[in-house]
Amino acid sequence: MTLAYVHSESLAHRLDPRSKLFVQIAFAAAAYAYTSPSGLAALTLVAVGWLRLTGGGPRDLWTYRFALPVLAVAPLVAGATLGTPWFRVGPAGDTALASYRVALILVVAAGYVRSTPVRESRAAIQHTVPGRPGHFLGTGVALVFRFLPLLKRDLVTAREAVRARGGGALPVRERMRIVAAAGLNRAFARADRLGIALSARCFAWNPTLPRLELRRADAVALAVAGGLLAAAIGGP
């Protein structure tokens, strides 16, 4: 699975992208306000339910597999000490809860990406933030969502090419250097082609974007987001 929009007829696909952005912001605020195991357990139900509403499942989280080792190792690093007692359970537990909180936010983000076309995300930002700043942010978000899967694919292609040429026998550090250099070269080449394409198409600050409209289903999403935000402001 890639970090990209997936066409579906799910409920979340029919929501206005502004409602979904509000849900993400409110969920992140609630996740940082309720850091206890019981609070995160309740937020887990919300995150899983949101992902199911987008038609997604565990396979969609495979996109974030590169972040999972970092989240898993962080508690061990936080708890380790250079002397006795060698490992402190308290700091490790706090960091484990923080890592889990980040993982829940990634689950909600995966649901948004899966259910929202890039053009709608750009339109939502430009409708919310007026003027040139909104156009700049909208363009940036659109480019990130469009090119991140391509850059990831370039890295996978470079890794497979190294392996096909017997690179598996090389030290890990050398393989990482080769793959990283190939990925950077392709990223710069894509950036150059993007600049030429934007110039050739007379890139403008006022593109024709899809029309956004809040519907009845958005009322439920806004109510959930409002509840999460109110809970975050109220505190545990």
* Residue 85: pLDDT band with limits 50, 70, 90: confident
Give the mean model confidence (pLDDT) for residues 160-166: 85
* pLDDT tens by residue, 190-235: 878 877 776 776 666 666 777 888 888 889 888 989 998 888 887 7
Specify the pTM: 0.72
Three-state SS at 80: strand
* pLDDT tens by residue, 119-158: 888 888 887 787 777 777 777 777 777 777 777 788 888 8
* pLDDT tens by residue, 11-53: 889 899 999 989 999 999 999 888 888 889 999 999 999 999 8
Q: Where are the domains of the chain?
A: 12-117+211-234, 130-200
For residues 90-101, one letter each, b for 16 or more C-beta atoms within 10 angstroms of the residue's C-beta and e for the rest, the string is eebeebbebbbb
CA distances from residue 89 to 12, 13, 35, 97, 98 in whole angstroms, order as listed: 40, 43, 17, 12, 14
- So what's the pLDDT on residue 49? 92
CA distances from residue 205 to 49, 121, 196 in whole angstroms, order as listed: 37, 16, 17
- So what's the pLDDT on residue 43? 92
At residue 80, what are phi and psi to the nearest 5 degrees?
-70, 145
Give the mean model confidence (pLDDT) for residues 171-191: 84
